[in-house]
Amino acid sequence: MTFSFSIIAEAWPTFMAGLLTTAVFCSVSSVLGLGLAVPIALAQLSRSFAWRLPAKVIVEIVRDTPFLVQVFVIYFVLPAAGLPVSSTAAGILALTIHGAVYFSESIRGAILSVPKGQVDAARATGMSYPLTLRRVVFPQMMGYVLPSIGNQLVGLIKDSAVLSIISVPELSMAFNTVLGTTFAAPESFVTVAVLYWLLTSAVTLVMSRLERMTPTHRSTQELTSLIAGTDR
């Protein structure tokens, strides 16, 4: 059995279309997921039981069920309940919800890593809770949250392969298409593996650079001037 690069060349447009779809789906879902993750994390840390309970229920449901089941529920159960969704909408929604929950756990852990004394000091100066988060907590937590968020982004890219089950034309679907038409298993497997590796490596590289640009801790002097100079 020989490895044919000509087969890969012929199927290259199909693989590229699948790679582009995967990148777009994961990018959109990551942005939306991060947007949802912050309120979910803050709700879990809230003193109000009415905020904590729904957030914890959502987190536990998503964490304790397979991603494949979540995709099926969105794609098949929602239309049965009178809410029709396309495969594209279902794929983005499933990735967004799945990512939001795991992002929220990373954010919650990073917020808790900030020394409570600094939060209390900021509140004692008269800063509101939202302003304390923005000026004291969020800048410090970035060094803790970025490595975890990077891992979650890589995981989201790999989880997106499940979407081929509902006919989303992403990279795994492109692999199935090429394999079904060429029957060239070695070439198809190697190509899709390399493309996933390149995509996840690019995300890892970007997140690593962001980590190096973000200090894990601010100095006491920096925090003091930050709090003292804030507009109340």
Which domain CATH number covers 192? 1.10.3720.10
Residue 103 lies in a domain: yes
**Can you give the pLDDT at residue 121?**
84
3-state DSSP helix/strand/coil % of the chain, to nearest 5: 85, 0, 15
> How far apart, in whole angstroms, are the C-alpha atoms of residue 57 and residue 64?
10
**Cα gap 100→187, rounded to integer Å:** 35
Residue at 108 is within a domain: yes
Domain presence at residue 16: no
- CB contact at 8 A, 157 and 200: yes
pLDDT at 47: 87
Per DSSP, 162 falls in state: G
Q: What is the pLDDT of residue 116?
A: 81
pLDDT by 10s per residue, the chain, length 232: 578 899 999 999 999 999 999 999 999 999 999 999 999 999 999 889 999 999 999 999 999 999 999 999 999 999 999 999 999 999 999 999 999 999 999 999 988 888 888 888 888 888 887 888 888 888 888 878 888 999 999 999 999 999 999 999 999 999 999 999 989 999 999 999 999 999 999 999 999 888 887 765 444 445 455 555 555 4
- What would the two tokens of residue 70 be? 């979540």
- How many domains would you assign to the chain? 1
12 within a domain of the structure (yes/no): no
pLDDT of residue 219: 46
Residue 35: both structure tokens together: 């947007």
Is residue 212 included in any domain, yes or no? Answer: yes
Which residue segment(s) compose the domain that 101 sits in? 27-228
The answer to the question of residue 104 being in a domain is yes
Q: How far is 226 from 124, CA to CA, in rounded Å?
A: 14
Our CA dihedral for 202, 208, 210, 215, rounded to 10 degrees, sits at 180
The answer to whether the beta carbons of residues 163 and 94 sit under 8 Å apart is yes
Residue 74 placed within a domain: yes
**pTM for the full predicted model:** 0.85
- Decide if 194 is inside a domain: yes
